[in-house]
Structure 1
Amino acid sequence: MGDYSKALEFYETSHKIWGKALPSNHPHLATSYSNVGQVYNNMGHYSKALEFYEKSLKIKEKALPSNHPNLATSYNNIAAVYYNMGDYSKALEFYEKSHQILEKALPSNHPSLATSYNNIGQVYNNMGDYPKALEFYEKSYLIYENALPSNRPHLATSYSNIGQVYNNMGDYLKALEFCEKSLEIRKKGLPSNHPSLATSYSNIGQVYNNMGDYSEALEFREESHQIYEKALPSNDPSLATSYDNICQVNDNMDDYPKALEFSEKLLKMKEKSVSVDHRDLAASYSNVGDVYDKIC
């Protein structure tokens, strides 16, 4: 994990110097705003991240032609923050702005276009539009398949994403097929404590959970959780998801004390990391209430 506090300290020191030495519309200042925004995004401080990313974008919009790839980067950064905030319509708006520029600026088989298709697919998946999500994930996959060796991490991500959509659509055998392909690549190419491996274990656990095989689901989700606890900061969204996943399986197995333990851990994280009106916080309160209701 990155030392975000240290990174922020040095980026802000750099920014103060640039701010005194350069005119307010200088490209170096745009880069500086973007760097600070990136750290805030990584720290989960999304409002601050958005503030700095938008300052960077304003400079770029004045200094660059409307189809410049650096503008696409800014749109993409802003979209990622909105995505993390759960504002998927805004995320889609900015991802599409970024994609329109990249489509004009890059060859049709460029890996950056694959990333862009993937980002849009991810938003559609979270919005529940699974056919659209699958469409964009498959476009991403086709580019990666033709451009990269068969063991590259980006291919693993594509397999994983497609598997998740099939899971959401209720096609669990297809989901398991793609999630296992993803895990196979990651096990060969990554150290055993890498967060991407944890993601693969978690995804397979989710499919087993949906198939009603709760013992297999718990095994994969606990394996995932052990990696996340060691590899990620305590406020990382992936760790929150992991708490929720283990809570779900224990709930399905009627182990309500365990389910309560993990649902309360999740709630504490959400109370610290999201706004009071965020949908994830509402869901966390509801989850804890559900478990208490079953215990009583």
Structure 2
Amino acid sequence: MLLLFLTRLFLLISLTQPQQKILIQDLKTELDQTEDVTRKIELYCELSKVHKSINPKTTISYGNKAVALAQKAGDDKLLAQAYNETGSGHYLLGDIDKAVQFYYMALRIREKLGDPSDLSASYNNIGNVYADQHNHKEALPLYKKSLSLATTAQDTLRMSSALSNIGGVYLDQGKYDLALVYYREALPIQEGLDDKQGILISLINIGEAYNGKNDYQTALTYFNKAHQIANNLGSPHDEVYVLRGKAESYLKAGKYEKALDNALASMELAKAYEGKYVLKENAAILDRIYAAMGNYEMAHHYLTLHMAYNDSLHNERAADRIAQERVKYETAQKDKENLLLRAEQELNLRKLEQRSIVQYFTVALLLLVCAMAYVFFRGRQHQSRINKLLTQKNELIMHKNEALNQHQKALTEQAQQLNIQKEKLTQLNTIKDKLFSVIAHDLRGPLVALKGLLHVMAMGKVPADKQEGLFNSLVKGQQNVLWMLDNLFDWARAQMEGFEADPKPLPLRELADENIRLLQPVASSKDIVLENKIDPNLTGCADKEMVRLVLRNLISNGIKFCKAGDTVTLTAKLKNDFVLVSVKDTGIGITQEVQKKLFGGSSYSSRGTANEKGSGLGLALCKDFVEHNGGSIWVESMPGKGSTFLFTLPHTVKAEEDEDEINTPPSPEETEEKTAEQLQLA
């Protein structure tokens, strides 16, 4: 009965018999194919583990192969696992001497590695050996240490093993209720892992506990559940315990025949793998069954068999071997502690030496710091005196620099003023030169011609038939001079500072008609047609006088470069928030090179189709006036295909400008200035 709960550790998640065969075959196939040494060790350990519930001798065989290969590879973790599996095989066969030897070898390696899960397994296995010797005082602390390590590692499988084994100790002590507490705590963990093997063993253990309480009916319920799982798993090792437990229940119930059948079946299965513990327990229950049935001869036979197995398992050699291994283990632990103590003493001595050196160094450092502090203090005093002198000199220099900066600033301002005045003078000088150039060149010629005509007419030397032609020439010359003077004065006024546009809504068609009437005689003299196609309802917003001059110059320019039969057409249209005005002629056109000079800063003039001259100010003046009113002007032309001059004007006055014009009456000075301008234009 005792071996049942001790074997839990060696069995992992359960497999059915067909699954075990498939798994074993797969492991063997992979073992034959792999060349990796580490993987071979792992496969030997897996094969050793799988055979625990089938044939412990095979477990030992694969375990020894794993040990040899792990020692050769120098892999401590796998060597400890191989020792553990080999010890489990010996334990299942009842060879306690060798089992203890392998368990302690595994423990020594695992303590070096420090893996809590592996340590839990080793402590659990050694606890099993003490429990088998009925040394519960030593077994129970080892099981609880195994449980603590498994909990730390969160290894639920080993937690359930430790709980089952703790319950087994209490079961062996006859504390059945306390044993049931631990068994029932282990069972849910196993069910959560779907650990069929673990569930099977917990059911058997609970049945054993109820047998101990003489509640054989409840015990049989648990044994029957366990028997069904054992058959499904195909595990003869577990079936041995189930049948023996049922035999115990039937014996307590007085059903001797059923008890005998189950006990004999358990005995036959136990003989298959020669488990001494199982054979001993089965012999004991058969002795009791035959004695209850009155068959004392068979009872004596099984009692003798029981004693033989018992002597084989519990001889002094096994106990001595356990004691020897424990002494070796404890001696190794003490040697380790002694080494640690010696190392600690040496470390303390070194710390004392280092502390003395640090103290000497600290004292020397303090003295050095004090010396440096004194030198620094004296240096600071000297530096303070020098800094004070430097500060006084710096203040004096700063005062002088400030005076120099102020003087330099005044000079800079004067230089800026001089530059501004220079620019103004240069600009005025340029205007003056331009005015004198126009007056001397462009005005002198027409005036000299007028003077000659008037002198001839005054002398009465002009025939009557030619007087009308001379009068027309005088009128035409006088008109050209007036237009030239208008352009000249407007251009000069545009160059002055403070010149600004006076934007107001204005009818564009009326302005165009006014200029066409003014220029119609000139156009008629060259047989040129003037057309006004501007919409009467279309208005722009600009300075009326400026726009009148722009239109007059553009129409005059179109007439100048047209031949007889050509046409000058005025059109306008609304585009976004602007009015686009165009003056198109069908004249001789303009080359690209000349187009670049038309709106430049310098004046440019060329003779018309009738050899007309110009001042070169007209288009420049148009550009200034258009831009003053917020618009732009450009030309589109090709030689031989005429020219189109286009300019834009705002369509409406901005709200803020309208409000200012409505609310702010013109000042007397502005009225006088506008009157003066109108007089000059007149």
Aligned residue type for 1:111: L
Deviation sequence 1:92-123 (CA, Å, 0-9, x none): 1211111011122217xx33322221121112
> 2:78 and 2:240 mapped to 1: Cα distance?
37
Q: Is the 8 A contact 1:190 1:197 kept in 2?
A: no
**Which has a greater percent of helix?**
1
2:276 counterpart of 1:232: no
Q: Against the structure 1 CA distance between its residues 263 and 37, is the aligned structure 2 distance closer, same or farther, given a 3 Å change threshold?
A: same
Pairing of 1:70-219 with structure 2 (within 5 A): 70-106=118-154, 110-148=156-194, 152-187=196-231, 189-191=232-234, 194-219=236-261
Q: Against the structure 1 CA distance between its residues 59 and 224, is the aligned structure 2 distance closer, same or farther, given a 3 Å change threshold?
A: closer
- SS of the residue corresponding to residue 56 of structure 2 reads coil
Q: Against the structure 1 CA distance between its residues 214 and 277, is the aligned structure 2 distance closer, same or farther, given a 3 Å change threshold?
A: farther
Q: Is the 8 A contact 2:97 2:318 kept in 1?
A: no
Q: Against the structure 1 CA distance between its residues 53 and 84, is the aligned structure 2 distance closer, same or farther, given a 3 Å change threshold?
A: same
Q: Is the 8 A contact 1:156 1:186 kept in 2?
A: yes
Deviation sequence 1:147-167 (CA, Å, 0-9, x none): 328xx3322222211111011
Q: Once the two structures are aligned, what percentage of the paired residues are identical?
A: 24
Deviation at 1:7, TM superposition (A): 4.7
Partner of 2:555: none
TM-score, scaled to structure 1: 0.78
Partner of 1:69: 117
Q: Against the structure 1 CA distance between its residues 277 and 213, is the aligned structure 2 distance closer, same or farther, given a 3 Å change threshold?
A: farther
Aligned residue type for 1:221: A
Pairing of 1:29-68 with structure 2 (within 5 A): 29-64=79-114, 68=116
Q: Is the 8 A contact 1:137 1:162 kept in 2?
A: yes
Q: Which of residues 278, 281, 290 in structure 2 aligns to 1:241?
A: 281
- SS of the residue corresponding to residue 49 of structure 1 reads helix
Higher relative contact order (CA 8 A, sep 6+): 1
Partner of 1:262: 302
Deviation at 1:209, TM superposition (A): 0.6
Partner of 1:286: none
**Which has a greater percent of strand?**
2
Aligned residue type for 1:78: I
Q: How many residues align?
A: 264
Deviation at 1:77, TM superposition (A): 1.8
> 1:28 and 1:196 mapped to 2: Cα distance?
28
Q: Against the structure 1 CA distance between its residues 11 and 38, is the aligned structure 2 distance closer, same or farther, given a 3 Å change threshold?
A: farther
Aligned residue type for 1:155: I
> 1:35 and 1:186 mapped to 2: Cα distance?
23
Runs ≥4 in structure 1, deviation > 6 angstroms? none
- SS of the residue corresponding to residue 259 of structure 1 reads helix
Q: Is the 8 A contact 2:247 2:262 kept in 1?
A: yes
Q: Is the 8 A contact 2:67 2:79 kept in 1?
A: no
2:57 counterpart of 1:3: yes
Q: Against the structure 1 CA distance between its residues 46 and 211, is the aligned structure 2 distance closer, same or farther, given a 3 Å change threshold?
A: same
- SS of the residue corresponding to residue 208 of structure 1 reads helix
Q: Is the 8 A contact 2:210 2:219 kept in 1?
A: yes
Aligned residue type for 1:161: N
Q: Please say which structure displays the higher CA radius of gyration.
A: 2
Gaps of 5+ in 2: 1-54, 320-682
Aligned residue type for 2:211: N
Alignment root-mean-square deviation, CA: 2.8
- SS of the residue corresponding to residue 148 of structure 1 reads coil
> 1:132 and 1:227 mapped to 2: Cα distance?
31
- SS of the residue corresponding to residue 3 of structure 1 reads helix
> 2:238 and 2:187 mapped to 1: Cα distance?
18
> 1:276 and 1:218 mapped to 2: Cα distance?
33
> 2:198 and 2:69 mapped to 1: Cα distance?
33
